[in-house]
Structure 1
């Protein structure tokens, strides 16, 4: 569960509500200001939403003040998070756990939040086991425990896309030690349909062919050097499973993600493809 005490106990400056209200009301005076504001909102709605979500997550005081305003309060708790920081002799952890709420779908929120909580707890357990193995191996080979550099563990998230209907979330798990370790998780939720989406949900029964054809088209536009990084005799259809990782970009387009070394050599990194039909 989310700890709301920072919000509940935070003293709100008396002038905060009026400052926020004035900011929302600015531009109502002159016609050119109104036109400029309308064009701006039409041009960058997702940027405004992203900034709002960022401020709400980073500042409990700002969030509590804004939530008291009409309309804005409807989106103020879509994503909140809890941060964990800990350190011991073999690892130090910076982890953020996102939560979704205020969707009006209690069962969906609980299902998604339990998944995110369990996912990050599993990541932390796996990281601890790896860090302990590094430490034990270092000491076993003659290393001085006092000289051991703790493994850095960072778990964070970013919102790839957010709208009244869809939320697309990316969880990143990164470790730094003698070698780097990185894992990415993507989670896209249909708020209206109250389900976590798969490629099949989005594209239908022919999703493998649709996605593979779009990827081939994208690859055909690569340079010769880029294409040479691909593994030979690739069977894209076999890689496009129903649970293939993907997210929605800022334009609401599906972006399919491959892990490093999954379809190309290391120089290709983690290839991503915007899927078009």
Structure 2
């Protein structure tokens, strides 16, 4: 009867749809456990919560005759990943004559799989955010001082968590500076939940692979298609001023993974198109990068 029940539970476990990466990690741990203590039995239950930010929760039950061998094997199951979240924020606000600023500064906390704070990663991302926002605030204060009350300027910096998947946590900053005209810039910070470390574009690809050329070529293709379809769309491509033309992305180009699991490359206003186009984004088809991107980042 016990064997029948175990077989049934094992069958139910295998019928549960779970991420491939998570299944591989758990099954690797089970194989190790079986090697170290064949007489013991391990049953793994997995539940998944719905939604883009859903995280898998594992409960491991060790059956009869469990001992030090099984416990040691369980310790070898790879960690599933870090947890990153915005825990608080502060806001800098100022109105001086016809100049104003509203700068939101979040504080991010990165936790290890066991719930303890990963202080190194937490300090690193918050230090970067602090330096970035301090620079914006200091620039505004300097502009106010130099204008002597006669300037006209609005500075607005907002943020949002743009990606919170099983593999990646990304927080995006959108800055708008309005004077005679507006200027839009985008800054995005990323945490790889598998390592708990801050990463840039190059880190989502397999080591030693050429991701710059295929992505750059696809962006050029999209630019040409958009311009052919709409006369109001213009990019710096094959223009009369070659040095202005888009050449390629870089290893640390701004990016994010959208809600459909697609890589999106972001350019600030004026980078690859006239200022009137604002900041522009290009969704990269998965087939362009599927052989070179690391598992768990895109779909």
TM-score, structure 1 length as denominator? 0.61
* Partners of 2:280 and 2:198 in 1: CA distance: 23
3-state SS of 2:226 partner: coil
Is the CA contact 1:169–1:247 (under 8 Å) kept in the aligned structure 2? no
Structure 1, unaligned runs of 5 or more: 1-40, 50-73, 137-144
The residue number in structure 2 matching 1:208 is: 212
Q: Deviations over 1:149-180 (max 9, x none)?
A: 65322111011111243111111222233332
Is the CA contact 1:79–1:101 (under 8 Å) kept in the aligned structure 2? yes
Judging by fraction of residues, say which structure has more strand: 2
Judging by fraction of residues, say which structure has more helix: 1
The residue number in structure 2 matching 1:194 is: 196
Structure 2, unaligned runs of 5 or more: 1-48, 56-81, 113-117, 289-299
Pairwise CA RMSD of aligned residues? 3.1
* Partners of 1:76 and 1:238 in 2: CA distance: 35
Is the CA contact 2:101–2:155 (under 8 Å) kept in the aligned structure 1? yes
3-state SS of 1:222 partner: helix
* Partners of 1:46 and 1:240 in 2: CA distance: 28
3-state SS of 1:101 partner: strand
Q: Write out aligned runs for 1:1-277 (5 A).
A: 42=50, 45-46=51-52, 78-89=86-97, 91-104=99-112, 105-133=118-146, 135-136=147-148, 148=150, 151-204=153-206, 205-224=209-228, 225-226=230-231, 229-233=234-238, 238-276=247-285, 277=288
TM-score, structure 2 length as denominator? 0.57
Alpha-carbon shift at residue 87 of structure 1 (Å): 3.0
Q: Looking at CA atoms only, which structure, 1 or 2, has the larger radius of gyration? A: 2
* Partners of 1:46 and 1:151 in 2: CA distance: 38
Question: Which 4+ residue blocks in structure 1 deviate beyond 6 angstroms?
Answer: 234-237
